[in-house]
Structure 1
C-alpha cells in the first residue's frame, strides 16, 4: 500500500495463514502488540491499514483473484505458459485440495476478516465521531469485499429466484479469543453470505464519507454493491446503484483508454484501487502477465487470436498489446511494475447500467445503447445503431478483460467453459485441505474428497 507497512497482529487469525515459499519474511519490529493496538485510536487505525495491506496482497487483490478468474474461465482467450503447477492446475480445472494458491487466498481473506472484526469490536476507543464512522465504514467495506470473493470462488453461483442453500463459506463476525476452545465453524449458505455482504455494504455506505483519499469511500461501497447485485441477478438494485455512482460520484472516464492503466496514482475513473509502490504492495498481475523488462516473468499468460478477433480494426483496445521475446502477445494493461491495481472502474458501472436497463426494458440514466456507445467511443470503436444483450456482454469482455470478471460472468449468465457447464463442480475451488483437517465442521466441495 502507498506509504503503508503491513501490521502483523499478535492475535491469531481464526483460520491460520502459515508461511510458505511464496511469502516474504516479515521482520518482528514491524509488529505491534495487540493490547496496545486496540487500546488507542491510532492503534485501531493501524489495524485498519494492515487490513488494507493484506487485501492488496498478491493472494487477493494484488493480482491472484483476477488471475484465477481468467485461468478458471479460459475459453480460448489466453495461453498459460507458466511453470507454476498450482496455477496450471487451475487453468486445467484439475485443482487439488492442498493447492497452495487456493489455500493462501482463503487464509489471507480470513486474516483480513479477522482484522476487521477486531476493529469493529473495539470502536469504542475512537472518540472522534467522524473518525469512528469512517473506520467502521472502511472495516465493513473490506469485510464485504473479501467475503464476496470467497463466496464466488468457494461456493456455487447464486441463482435468482432460488433458495440458494448451496454451501458458501463460514461467516465469522467475532474475534476468537479462547483459542483453547472449539474453533470449528460450519459453512454458511450462499444466500446467507450474500445477505451479510449486502448488509455490510449498506452499513458501510451509511458511514463512509463521499471522499476519502485513496481509501474506500461511500461510492467505492456503492460500486461494489452494484457489482454484488449484478452477480445475484438483482438487476433493479444493480441498475439503480450504478446510476447513482455514474451521476453523483464525480468520477469520469479517462479520455484515452490506455491512460486508465499503469498509473502510479488513482485516476478519474477509479472507484477503488489498490496502491502499489516500490516499497510496499504487490502486483501479481505484472508477475504473470508482463514481460521481464516490465518486471514480470516474461509472459506466463499471453493472448490468443480469438481474443484479438473480438475487436474491430479501429478499436484501441484490440491493439493494446505488445510482443515478448518469443513473439507471444501480452496485454498492455499491466506494464508498470509499481502501478496501482484498479479494482473498480467507472467503465464497469456504465456496463452494469446498460445490462440491467436492457434486461428490465428501462432507460434509467441512459439507454443501454447510449451507455455501450459511451464505452465504445472512448475506445475509438464505431458506434452501434442498435444493441442486444449479447452486444453488452461482449462489450464487457472487451472493456474489462483480464481484470477479474470472466469466470463470474460465465457463471451468472449460465455459459460454458469448454465442455464444462457454468455450475460444474470443477469451476469451484476446494476448501483447503488444511482447513478441513483442523475444522471438523467444514464440508468439502463435491469432487474434492
Structure 2
C-alpha cells in the first residue's frame, strides 16, 4: 500500500508544480521549499526513482487515454463515425460526444480546447521524465547498469510524448520544404530548475531533439527489468527502435526509416500473428496480441479489477449499452469480401431515427477493443508497413511489394501485382491494418492528401483540402497567456 501511496504523493508534487506554472507563480521553488525537499527525498534512492518512473508511466497512460486523443486520428480521417443514442427522448438520434465537439468540425477552441487535458498531462509526464533524468546519476544504491536503464526509459518516454505533441500541434514535417514551420516546446529541464518560458522550436529542431533522445536511450538500454508487471507495458530497446522508425517515417527520412524498421523486424524476436490466430488474438478480452511491442496496459486495483479501458469508447454490450464510436462504411468498404480483417467487426443492429421513425440499421463495432484492452502503442505490423513505404521511396519496389503482400497474405487479401499503384496501396493498407490505432489522420496529412468523410459524418466540415491551418490544434489559451514566448498556431 505504501508503494502506491508514494507514487500518488510524487504525482501530487509534480502536479502542484505544473499548476503553479500554469498560474505563473514566480520563483516557485523558493516559495515552496518543502516541495523541493520532498522531491529530493523521493528521488534520492533507487526505490524512490523506480516509484517515480512507475508514476511517469501512469501519466503517459493518462495522456494516451484522454477521450479526445483516443479517437482523434481515426474520426478526423474518416475511419470512425458516431453511434445513435441508445435511450431516452433522443433515442436513435445522433449527438456529437462532448469530448470531440470542437475539433470534429476542425474548429477547436484555444479557450476551451477538447485537448486541454492532453496538453497538460503530456507536459506533466515530460516533467516527470526530466526529474528522473536529473536525479538518477546521483543514486548511490543503484548499479551503473540500473541507472542506465532508468535513464533510457525516461529518455524514450520524453521523446515519445514530445512526438505525440508534435503530431497534434505542429504541421507535418514536409509542410515546408525545410521544416522551418513551428514545431513545439521541447522541455529538457524540470521545473526544479526554475520556471522557464521557452519558445517553440522549428519542426526540424523538434524532430532532431526527438531522434537524439531516442538514440541516447538506445545506447543506454540494458537487459535489466526494473519494473514489476508485463514487460510489454514498458519502454525497452525494441519498442524504442519501433518509435524511432515511426519518427523517421514522419520525417521522410526513408533510409533510416527502412533500416530501423528492418532492424526491429529482423532482430526483435517478435513475429507477426499468423492467419489462423489473427481473429482469436484480437478477440482476447485481457491480454494483448502476440505481436505487440508496447501496450500501455490499463491499471487494476488490488482486487485485480480493471479500470476504464478502450472498450469504453469502442465496446458493445447490448442493444441499449454500447459505446459512442463504430467503424464507418468508408472503412468497411475498403476490405475485400474474403479479407479476414472483415471478421474483426461485430455487426449489430441499432435503432436509428430515420424520417421520424426508429428503424434498425447495422453498425460495425471493432473487435480489437472489446473486453479490457490497453492502448496499442506499437506492434509488428506497423514495422512491415514502414519498411514497405520507405523501400518504395528508395525505389526498392520488390521489397515494398513483398512487405505489403506479407500483411495482405496473412489477411487472405488479394496480393499486389506489378500494375498496382504502390503508393496508394501502402496508404490504404495502413488504413485497414492499423485502424483505430491512431494513424489515419497523420498518414493523410503526411502524404498531403485531402480529408474526405462520407458515411455517418455529423461534422460541419466533412471534407477538408490539404494544406489547411486547421490540421493542427490550438495551444490552450492558459498556456499562451502565461508564456508570451509561446506562439499560437495560425487561425486560432
Q: Are positions 1:328 and 2:363 aligned together?
A: yes
Structure-2 residue corresponding to 1:381: 413
Structure-2 residue corresponding to 1:134: 149
Q: State the distance in 2 between where 1:373 and 1:205 align.
A: 31
Task: Return 142-151 or 380-389, whichever deviates more.
Answer: 380-389
RMSD: 2.8
Give the match's secondary structure for 2:102.
helix
Give the match's secondary structure for 1:177.
helix
Structure-2 residue corresponding to 1:444: 488
* 1:210 to partner: Cα distance: 5.9
User: Is the CA contact 2:14–2:124 (under 8 Å) kept in the aligned structure 1?
Assistant: no
Largest Rg, 1 or 2: 2
User: Is the CA contact 1:51–1:112 (under 8 Å) kept in the aligned structure 2?
Assistant: yes
User: Is the CA contact 1:239–1:356 (under 8 Å) kept in the aligned structure 2?
Assistant: yes
Q: Are positions 1:257 and 2:262 aligned together?
A: no
Q: State the distance in 1 between where 2:21 and 2:279 align.
A: 39
| Matched length | 426
2:204 pairs with one of 176, 191, 211: 191
Q: Are positions 1:246 and 2:265 aligned together?
A: yes
Name the CA shift for 1:302/1:339 in 2 (closer, same or farther; >3 Å): closer
Structure-1 residue corresponding to 2:290: 268
1:433 pairs with one of 477, 481, 485: 477
User: Is the CA contact 1:47–1:115 (under 8 Å) kept in the aligned structure 2?
Assistant: yes
Q: State the distance in 2 between where 1:402 and 1:370 align.
A: 25
Task: Return 189-198 or 121-130, whichever deviates more.
Answer: 121-130
Residue by residue over 1:356-405, the C-alpha shift from the partner in whole angstroms, topping out at 9 and shown as x without a partner, is 11121127xx7222211211122222333344221111111110011000
Q: Are positions 1:357 and 2:407 aligned together?
A: no
**TM-score (normalised: structure 2):** 0.80
User: Is the CA contact 1:93–1:426 (under 8 Å) kept in the aligned structure 2?
Assistant: yes
Name the CA shift for 1:407/1:315 in 2 (closer, same or farther; >3 Å): same
1:15-414 superposed matches below 5 A? 15-16=18-19, 33-57=38-62, 59-61=63-65, 64-74=68-78, 78-79=81-82, 81=94, 83-126=96-139, 127-159=142-174, 162-177=177-192, 183-209=196-222, 212=225, 213-214=231-232, 215-255=234-274, 256-261=277-282, 262=284, 264-279=286-301, 285-292=310-317, 298-322=322-346, 323=348, 325-326=350-351, 327-336=362-371, 338-362=372-396, 367-386=399-418, 387=420, 388-414=422-448
Residue by residue over 1:15-65, the C-alpha shift from the partner in whole angstroms, topping out at 9 and shown as x without a partner, is 43999xxxxxxxxxxxx94232111111111111111111111x4256643
Name the CA shift for 1:217/1:37 in 2 (closer, same or farther; >3 Å): same
Give the match's secondary structure for 1:125.
coil
More helix by share: 2
Q: State the distance in 2 between where 1:278 and 1:398 align.
A: 31
User: Is the CA contact 1:415–1:421 (under 8 Å) kept in the aligned structure 2?
Assistant: yes
**TM-score (normalised: structure 1):** 0.87
Residue by residue over 1:95-149, the C-alpha shift from the partner in whole angstroms, topping out at 9 and shown as x without a partner, is 1113353111110010010000000000123331111111011001100000001
User: Is the CA contact 2:108–2:114 (under 8 Å) kept in the aligned structure 1?
Assistant: no
Task: Return 156-165 or 37-46, whichever deviates more.
Answer: 156-165
User: Is the CA contact 2:288–2:373 (under 8 Å) kept in the aligned structure 1?
Assistant: no
User: Which runs of no fewer than 5 residues in structure 2 stay unpaired?
Assistant: 23-36, 84-93, 226-230, 352-361, 453-462
Name the CA shift for 1:426/1:319 in 2 (closer, same or farther; >3 Å): same
Task: Return 342-351 or 202-211, whichever deviates more.
Answer: 202-211
Give the match's secondary structure for 2:174.
coil
